[in-house]
C-alpha cells in the first residue's frame, strides 16, 4: 500500500516535471534551442492564473480565466521570440543558452516584485481534497494532474506527427535552410512554437499550483525537468513525459528507502548515469548520418 501511495504522489510530481520538460522539448524540437527559462515560464503561468483567479486580485471565475491565461502566455511566448530571440537567430547556441538563463532571472525578479516572495496558493477547482480508497489516500489534484498530462502529451505528439504545421516545425529544426526553400516561414513557425511552449508552461503552472503553494523560486524545478528531458532523450515528446515520471517516482522512493540527502541527488545522479551510458537519452533521436 505504501509503495502504491508513493508511486501515485511520485507520478503526479513527475507529470509536472514532464510538462515542463515537454516545453523544453517543444522548443528544442522546433528551434534547436534550449529554453533554460521554461521553469520560470511555468512559474509565470501559475502567477498569471493566480492574479486572475484569486479573490484578492481580480477574482475572475477559474474556467473563464483559463482561456485568458492561455492567450496571455501564448502572446508572451510569441512576443519573446519576436523581440528577443529572433535577434540571435543564426548565432551560436551558447548565446541562446545564456539569453534564456538571463530571461529566467528577469522573470523570477519581476514575479517577486509583482506578487511578492511569500508562497501563495491558487484557488483552483482541481484542489478538491482527498479521496480514501481503503488505506490509499488519493489527492484529487494528483489524479487530475496525471490525466491532464497524459492527454496533453498525446495531443502534442499527434500534433507533431500529423498536422502540417507540426511537420513544418520539425522541418524548420532539422534544416533551416532547406525549410526556407520548401516555403516554410521558419521565423513565424518558431514564434508559434514559443507561443505553444508558453501555453504548455501555463498548464504545468496551473497543475503545479493546484498541488500546493507557489513562489517566484518555483521555476527552479525546471532543473529537475531538464534531467527529465535529457533522460527521455531531448527531442522526444513521450520521452520527456517518461523522463519526468522516472524523476518524479525516484524522488519519493529515494527519500523513503535511502539515507538522507540521497533523494535530492538521485535525479541528477540518474541524469549523469544516463548521459554516460546513453548519451542521447532513452528515446535517442540522434542518428549518425551515413556519408
Partner 1 sequence: MRIHFKTSYDDDIRLFEDGWKLSLYAALLALMVALPWLIDDFYLGEATNVLIWATCGLGLMLLTGQTGQASLGHSAFMALGCYTTVLLMEAGVPFVLSFPLAGVLTGIVGGLIAIPALKLHGVYLAIATLALAILTDDLIVMLEPWTGGVGGKFAPPITIFGLEVNRWSSPAAWYYMALVVVLVVTLFYRNLLRAPMGRAFAAVRDSEISAQAMGVNLARTKTIAFGMSAGITGLGGALMGLFAEVFNNETFTFILSIQLLMMIVVGGLGFIHGAFLGAIVISFLPQALSIVTDGIGSNVAIPGLEIGVFGVIMILFILFEPMGLYGRWLKIRTFFQLFPFARKDMFRRQKSYLKTERLR
Residue numbers at the binding site for partner 1 (CB under 8 A): 28, 31-32, 34, 84, 87-91, 93-95, 97-99, 101-106, 108-110, 112-113, 117, 173-177, 216, 223, 226-227, 230, 234-235, 261, 264-265, 268-269, 271-272, 275-276, 279-280, 285-289
Of 140, 110, 135, nearest in space to 124 by CA: 140
Backbone angles phi, psi at 34, to 5 degrees: -110, 125
Q: How far is the CB of 213 from partner 1 (least distance, A)?
A: 17
CA dist 183 → 143, 171, 179, 186, 188 (Å): 43, 11, 7, 8, 12
User: Cα dihedral sign for 163, 164, 169, 172?
Assistant: positive
Query: With respect to partner 1, which residue has the nearer C-beta, 112 or 238?
Result: 112
Q: How far is the CB of 61 from partner 1 (least distance, A)?
A: 33
Cα maximum dimension of the chain: 63
Query: With respect to partner 1, which residue has the nearer C-beta, 70 or 78?
Result: 78
CA dist 228 → 155, 156, 240, 250, 254 (Å): 20, 17, 6, 11, 16
Q: How far is the CB of 274 from partner 1 (least distance, A)?
A: 10
Q: Which three cell numbers stand for residue 214?
A: 507557489
Query: With respect to partner 1, which residue has the nearer C-beta, 32 or 60?
Result: 32
Q: How far is the CB of 29 from partner 1 (least distance, A)?
A: 9
Query: With respect to partner 1, which residue has the nearer C-beta, 53 or 96?
Result: 96
Backbone angles phi, psi at 59, to 5 degrees: 70, 30
Q: How far is the CB of 99 from partner 1 (least distance, A)?
A: 5
Q: How far is the CB of 136 from partner 1 (least distance, A)?
A: 32
Query: With respect to partner 1, which residue has the nearer C-beta, 61 or 261?
Result: 261
As to burial, measured by CB atoms within 10 angstroms (0-12 exposed, 13-18 middle, 19+ buried), residue 35 is buried
Query: With respect to partner 1, which residue has the nearer C-beta, 5 or 285?
Result: 285
Amino acid at each position: 500500500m505504501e509503495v502504491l501511495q508513493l508511486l501515485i504522489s511520485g507520478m503526479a510530481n513527475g507529470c509536472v516535471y514532464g510538462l515542463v520538460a515537454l516545453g523544453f522539448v517543444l522548443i528544442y524540437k522546433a528551434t534547436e534551442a534550449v529554453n533554460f527559462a521554461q521553469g520560470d515560464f511555468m512559474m509565470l503561468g501559475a502567477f498569471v492564473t493566480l492574479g486572475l483567479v484569486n479573490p484578492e486580485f481580480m477574482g475572475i471565475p477559474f474556467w473563464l480565466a483559463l482561456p485568458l491565461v492561455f492567450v496571455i502566455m501564448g502572446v508572451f511566448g510569441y512576443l519573446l521570440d519576436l523581440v528577443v530571440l529572433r535577434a540571435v537567430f543564426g548565432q551560436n547556441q551558447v548565446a541562446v543558452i545564456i539569453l534564456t538563463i538571463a530571461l529566467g532571472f528577469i522573470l523570477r525578479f519581476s514575479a517577486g516584485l509583482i506578487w511578492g516572495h511569500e508562497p501563495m496558493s491558487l484557488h483552483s477547482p482541481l484542489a478538491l481534497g482527498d479521496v480514501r480508497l481503503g488505506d490509499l489516500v488519493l489527492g484529487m489534484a494528483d489524479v487530475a494532474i496525471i490525466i491532464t498530462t497524459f492527454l496533453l502529451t498525446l495531443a502534442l505528439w499527434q500534433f507533431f506527427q500529423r498536422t502540417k504545421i507540426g511537420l513544418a516545425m520539425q522541418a524548420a529544426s532539422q534544416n533551416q535552410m532547406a525549410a526556407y526553400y520548401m516555403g516554410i516561414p521558419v521565423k513565424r513557425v518558431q514564434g508559434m512554437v514559443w507561443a505553444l511552449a508558453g501555453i504548455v508552461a501555463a498548464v504545468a503552472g496551473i497543475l503545479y499550483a493546484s498541488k500546493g503553494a507557489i513562489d517566484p523560486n518555483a521555476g527552479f524545478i525546471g532543473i529537475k525537468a531538464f534531467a527529465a528531458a535529457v533522460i527521455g532523450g531531448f527531442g522526444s515528446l513521450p520521452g520527456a513525459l517518461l523522463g519526468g515520471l522516472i524523476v518524479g517516482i525516484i524522488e519519493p522512493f529515494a527519500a523513503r528507502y535511502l539515507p538522507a540527502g540521497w533523494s535530492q541527488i538521485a535525479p541528477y545522479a540518474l541524469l549523469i548515469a544516463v548521459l554516460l551510458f546513453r548519451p542521447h537519452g532513452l528515446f535517442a533521436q540522434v542518428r549518425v548520418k551515413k556519408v
